[in-house]
Structure 1
Amino acid sequence: MGEESVDRSEGFGERLLGLLLDRARLMPPQLIAPLVAEEVARIGGRDVSILLQDYAQEVLVPLPGRKLHVGQPEPMVGSPAGRAFLLAVIVEAASTRGGVRMYLPLLDGSDTVGVLALTMDAVGDDDRRLLRRLAGLVADMLVTKSAYTDQFFLARRREPMSVSAEIQWSLLPPLSMTVPQVAVAGILEPAYRVAGDSFDYALNDNILHIAVIDAMGHGLDAAAMATIAIGAYRHARRVFVSLAEKYAYMDDAVSRQFGPDHFVTAQLMHLNVTTGELELVNAGHPAPLLIRHGRVERQLESATTLPVGFGGEEPRIREHQLQPGDRVLCYTDGIIEEHLSPEELFGEARLIDCVNRLAEGRSEGIRADLRDLSHALKRERGGHTSDDATLFMIEWRGGAADHLTVLD
């Protein structure tokens, strides 16, 4: 095709999205809302709401702002907004004020950060396409601007948060990631008081790097240890050392900073997202569970080395081969060591039973399933989480992603 035959004129959709792109660089955070409302109005929409997930992952709370419709929080379960959020799909429902109420997931990459809700008199395929792309731009703006405003944090916070919890939330990567070969999701409890639990991951070429940690103690001391451990882990990951050497970097950092009477348990993994080969190092942590065909098949055993900070020997790496569709569930001991009575712990058997019972229903994707598991476990424990309790799940699918680079 000759260069002269390419149409470079600006259409309606490009003008609408281009306006947002052109102004995003200088847009103060508080002006995102009125600009988005104006853009939706250009398409014929009204009653615009931006809904953000609260830290406990229970409701979607409306972001206050000029020209936004600010209603009541929407429950994560049983509402169109919650369905759009958890499944990352557009949901349409009849509006009580006439027309069609649309709920569009705000996707930052593959992580859902909230929902854009609006009402249209009627909806066509062109509207859906344009609004889906608009929601993607809005999500990118929210994530970018959140780095230098407290506006979005304050909207998501539903109760007072401890200093240690604020440190832990600021340390986390996105709570979920999905690419064609693999998906991950994580959740922290108690959301507003967590201190020593954390997780981290990065997809570098075909290797997914994963760490799940639990620093001893409570409060700021535990949060400080977790921060040092994750910082050392990221440093080791970025200088391309082996899995065993990552343990050594973390061990040295924690022991130097806190002395011999402090420690962090850790689960370190490398997953080849093309082949499903999983390497595992266990540093005093509960063994992860392999979930195959929806049920727990076994623990992924490994030679356990000393927790990080105790100067353990170089750990032995255990290799496991995953099958397409397998899930690996990592958890911290706060899940299984909750006391149901002074003499009885919750225990691993109850955890496995809860995983298997939830699998009897229809899977709605890793993020929705992990949230359901977390809330079911909390109910089983009588609603109590006296210690940090973290869940992190990996789903391996295999295949390749090269087709995404091919333009239709």
Structure 2
Amino acid sequence: MSVRPASVGSFLRAAPPDRLPEVVAEHLRTWFPVSATEVLLTDLTMGALWPVLEPGSPPGGPLEQRCFGSQQPVTDNGSRRLLLPLSTWGDRIGVLRVELTETLTGELRTEITSIADELALALRAAAKDTDRYRQVSRRQRLTMAAELQWELLPGRSLSGERFRLAGQLEPAYAMYGDHYDWAVTDDRLTLTVLNGHGDGIEAALLTTVVVNAMRNARRSGANIVEQAELASDALYSRHGGAAHLATLLLEIDLVGGTIEAVDAGSPRALIAHEGDIRAVSLEQQLPLGMFGDSRYEIQKVQLEPGDRLLVVSDGVHSAQPGGRTPYGETGLLSALRRTRLQPPSEAVGTVIRALREYHAGAEQEDDAVIVCLDWLRGTA
């Protein structure tokens, strides 16, 4: 008599990186009362979920979207269909859909949830070695600038015991130089948001230089002042001040809530607390790369338990389609109030959709970034 393997993980690690969905489908069909399986991945706009195993099939419907948005299991069809979120460290990848031949039990849900978690981790690891999953997520061709930007991103959401974090870029398929980056180490979260300079591939190349210069400094143990100064020197040495880049660098103490900030340009920060939204007042310093040997200073901001920090590029706060009032003065605040009960991963999408509506069909003149952080320390 065959004994069910303790985990699907060993099979996933032994499989080619592009065949992970098939491995999970075969495992479920062999060892569980499962008649059909589908893996659905989110597209770049986070607007739809697209099938991998049967790519010609329609995208996921309302139930799949509910599972993806809530990050909770969803059942349907008299408990014969199970939908499970695919996510790892808070980064939402997609949804696993399973059709059962028996009514779902608590034990069966637990076992299949474990398989979904193994699959999510494997998909994230495999993405650098196969194009299959990227091809599913892309619904149209990216510009070269956008290709560079997506390759630079750390992810689109991240969570831990003390925080939840998400970011989104717009437009997804034709970005220029706006960007965000983050990393968490030893209860400290480093977060940067950049306003690009120029258009197209040149803007993306500038951002690539700056992001990698800051990562190089950060990974060598440098603080955010040293990160800003190294990036500024790298940019100036190449362009002699003819090209520069605005950025906001933040290092957040996830235990005490203190933020150390270097404001080197135009990204804006706001803090929302129990419905009240206030701008973070920082003294603006010179953009990176404007002058040789630029020096920067740290400013401090204190978060309170339950605070929501939002950082937006000028493509959000300064958007002025058709000469209208800048989005940051009216529309942004209204959109942020609507996100009060949403997690950051949903809130960034709400703000981006509201920005699209503000343009009323007109093409956006600038790309846009929004990053949302909830500090959870002390709220439990």
Fold match (TM-score > 0.5): yes
Structure 2 CA distance, aligned partners of 1:85 and 1:359? Answer: 17
In structure 1, the partner of 2:15 is 27
Does the 8 A contact of 2:166 with 2:345 survive in 1? yes
**Aligned residue among 347, 358, 382 for 2:327:** 347
For 2:57, give the aligned amino acid: G
For 1:86, give the aligned amino acid: G
Does the 8 A contact of 1:305 with 1:313 survive in 2? no
Shift of the alpha carbon at 1:50?
0.5
Structure 2 CA distance, aligned partners of 1:112 and 1:334? Answer: 25
For 2:236, give the aligned amino acid: S
The verdict on how the C-alpha distance between 1:262 and 1:388 changes in structure 2, with shifts beyond 3 A counting, is same
Structure 1 CA distance, aligned partners of 2:282 and 2:346? Answer: 29
Once the two structures are superposed, the pairs formed by residues 3-402 of structure 1 within 5 Å of their partners are 12=4, 15-17=5-7, 20-41=8-29, 42-63=31-52, 65=53, 71-74=57-60, 79-94=62-77, 100-120=80-100, 121-296=102-277, 298-311=278-291, 313-341=294-322, 343-359=323-339, 363-383=341-361, 384-399=363-378
Cα deviation 1:277-315 (Å, max 9, x = unaligned): 11111111132011111331x111111111010127422
Structure 1 CA distance, aligned partners of 2:115 and 2:182? Answer: 28
Q: Which segment is superposed worse, 378-387 or 242-251?
A: 378-387
Structure 1 CA distance, aligned partners of 2:379 and 2:358? Answer: 39
Shift of the alpha carbon at 1:335?
1.2
The secondary structure found in structure 2 opposite 1:128 is: helix
For 2:260, give the aligned amino acid: E
For 2:71, give the aligned amino acid: A
In structure 2, the partner of 1:6 is none
The secondary structure found in structure 1 opposite 2:141 is: coil
Structure 2 CA distance, aligned partners of 1:313 and 1:22? Answer: 51
Shift of the alpha carbon at 1:112?
1.4
The secondary structure found in structure 2 opposite 1:51 is: strand
For 1:31, give the aligned amino acid: R
Structure 1 CA distance, aligned partners of 2:81 and 2:13? Answer: 30
Does the 8 A contact of 2:234 with 2:289 survive in 1? yes
Does the 8 A contact of 1:180 with 1:400 survive in 2? no
The verdict on how the C-alpha distance between 1:234 and 1:139 changes in structure 2, with shifts beyond 3 A counting, is same
The verdict on how the C-alpha distance between 1:45 and 1:356 changes in structure 2, with shifts beyond 3 A counting, is same
Structure 1 CA distance, aligned partners of 2:192 and 2:111? Answer: 38
Structure 1 runs (4+) greater than 3 angstroms displaced:
none
Gaps of 5+ in 1: 1-9, 402-408
TM-score by length of 1: 0.87
Shift of the alpha carbon at 1:399?
4.7
Structure 2 CA distance, aligned partners of 1:60 and 1:381? Answer: 25
Does the 8 A contact of 2:268 with 2:313 survive in 1? no
Structure 1 CA distance, aligned partners of 2:338 and 2:157? Answer: 20
The verdict on how the C-alpha distance between 1:94 and 1:148 changes in structure 2, with shifts beyond 3 A counting, is same
Does the 8 A contact of 1:116 with 1:135 survive in 2? yes
TM-score by length of 2: 0.93
Does the 8 A contact of 1:91 with 1:102 survive in 2? yes
Structure 2 CA distance, aligned partners of 1:62 and 1:211? Answer: 33
Does the 8 A contact of 2:146 with 2:175 survive in 1? yes
Structure 1 CA distance, aligned partners of 2:351 and 2:338? Answer: 7
Shift of the alpha carbon at 1:259?
2.6
Gaps of 5+ in 2: none
The secondary structure found in structure 2 opposite 1:89 is: coil
In structure 2, the partner of 1:7 is none
Does the 8 A contact of 2:195 with 2:267 survive in 1? no
Structure 1 CA distance, aligned partners of 2:109 and 2:56? Answer: 23
Does the 8 A contact of 1:195 with 1:222 survive in 2? yes
Cα deviation 1:355-389 (Å, max 9, x = unaligned): 344146xx231101221221122112224422111
Does the 8 A contact of 1:181 with 1:400 survive in 2? no
Structure 1 CA distance, aligned partners of 2:80 and 2:24? Answer: 18
Q: What's the Cα RMSD here? A: 2.1
Cα deviation 1:226-281 (Å, max 9, x = unaligned): 00000011011112222222110110111112331101100000100000011111
Shift of the alpha carbon at 1:106?
0.8
Cα deviation 1:3-59 (Å, max 9, x = unaligned): xxxxxxx974xx152xx3223333113432222112222211122110001001110
